[in-house]
A = this chain, B = another copy of it.
Amino acid sequence: MEINIDLGSRSYPIFIEKLRKIDLDSKVAIITNPKVAGLHLSYLLKNISAKELYIVTVPDGEEYKKIETINFILDRLFDHKLDRKSTLIAFGGGVVGDMTGFAASIFQRGVDFIQIPTTLLSQVDASVGGKTGINNRYGKNLVGSFYQPKAVYIDTYFLKTLPKREFSAGVAEIIKMAVTFDKDFFEWLEKNSLEDKKNLEYAIKRSIEIKADVVAKDEKESGLRAALNYGHTFAHVIENETNYKRFLHGEAVAIGIVMANELAIKLKLLSEDSANRVKKLLKRYSLPTYYRIKDINDFYEHFFLDKKSQNSKIKFVLPKEIGSVVIRDDIDENIVKEILKKFNQG
């Protein structure tokens, strides 16, 4: 299966299939981490030919997504004398993808890069949208660029070694896409299991198509693209409160979806029945749907740390029944806190 991401001169294809042969008439550096390299590098190398090929290994984990690691990658590229015509390949999950894209965007003012995402989350999410970046002490993804890959290769073979929790975290983003943009897809997800390879490939394809459609309409995130943050306004606070340790990102998003749905019910945007269907689907993939908020006022204040909350207004992305979405920045503090109280129990 092939999807074309239409961005004018920066358009690129996404292939969802058994990894095809990649022939590059340039110097190539594969950026990966030791875990992915150990499991899958030999499989990848069988499918790549290049003029010269180098492997750059960076430590695994969100805490290494920082400027020091970017400098390390750049230094290796200079050591190996890569030039403006060289190509970087991101081989790993979201962290490797975000950093490789960022390094590619600033090495010699920009070189080509290819994404081969190895987690479900990065396959459905990070491979579309051109967001690259790193964290710093002020927050997540605060430094980076918008930079598009030349191609994305998605092979579900890599997911066989993915821990079950990480797989489910990826499913949370798929469910997010369905609830906000595509009722038919949501109902398909209710009826079909993602354990099946063909189903999984279809769900990845559909999620990417939805995201691609949104991103093509709003590349630099001025309006519509914010809708992709459904569940994320809450998730970011949960991740922050738990120091990014207790939940995987997709797990926090699952809880955030449930919270956003409660707010949508209160505002009469969503029926209780629909909210229950979403929750049931999340639970089927063992995703968490509850987080005990310790202090409601603290939680509320943390919304304002999010860089997306400009001018001290919090943007809530809320489902308008299943399959469409509204963005609201005018919701009364008391109403939000009333919802937060429901997660302040037990």
Contact = CB atoms under 8 A, between A and B. Distances in A.
Contacts of A323: none
**8 closest pairs, A vs B, by CB?**
A78-B138, A109-B144, A106-B143, A109-B146, A83-B310, A106-B145, A109-B145, A108-B142
Contacts of A143: 74, 106-108
Interface string A97-118: 0000010011111100000000
Interface of A: 67, 71, 74-75, 78, 83-85, 102, 105-110, 131-133, 136, 138, 141-146, 220, 307, 310
Contacts of A142: 78, 107-108
A290 to B, nearest CB: 32
Nearest to A105: B145
A56 to B, nearest CB: 15
Contacts of A109: 131-133, 141, 144-146
Contacts of A132: 109
A83 B307 contact: yes
A84 B132 CA distance: 15
Given A78-B136, A136-B74, A110 B310 contact: no
Copies in the complex: 2
Given A71-B67, A74-B136, A136-B74, A106 B144 contact: yes
Nearest to A78: B138
A76 to B, nearest CB: 11
18 contacts: A67-B67, A78-B136, A84-B307, A85-B310, A102-B106, A105-B145, A106-B106, A108-B142, A108-B307, A109-B132, A109-B133, A109-B141, A109-B144, A109-B145, A109-B146, A110-B145, A110-B146, A145-B145
A75 B106 CA distance: 19
Nearest to A147: B145
A338 B68 CA distance: 46
A138 B80 CA distance: 11
A192 B59 CA distance: 61
Given A67-B67, A102-B106, A110-B220, 10 more contacts: A78-B138, A83-B310, A84-B307, A84-B310, A85-B310, A106-B143, A108-B142, A108-B143, A109-B146, A145-B145
A216 to B, nearest CB: 14
A240 to B, nearest CB: 16
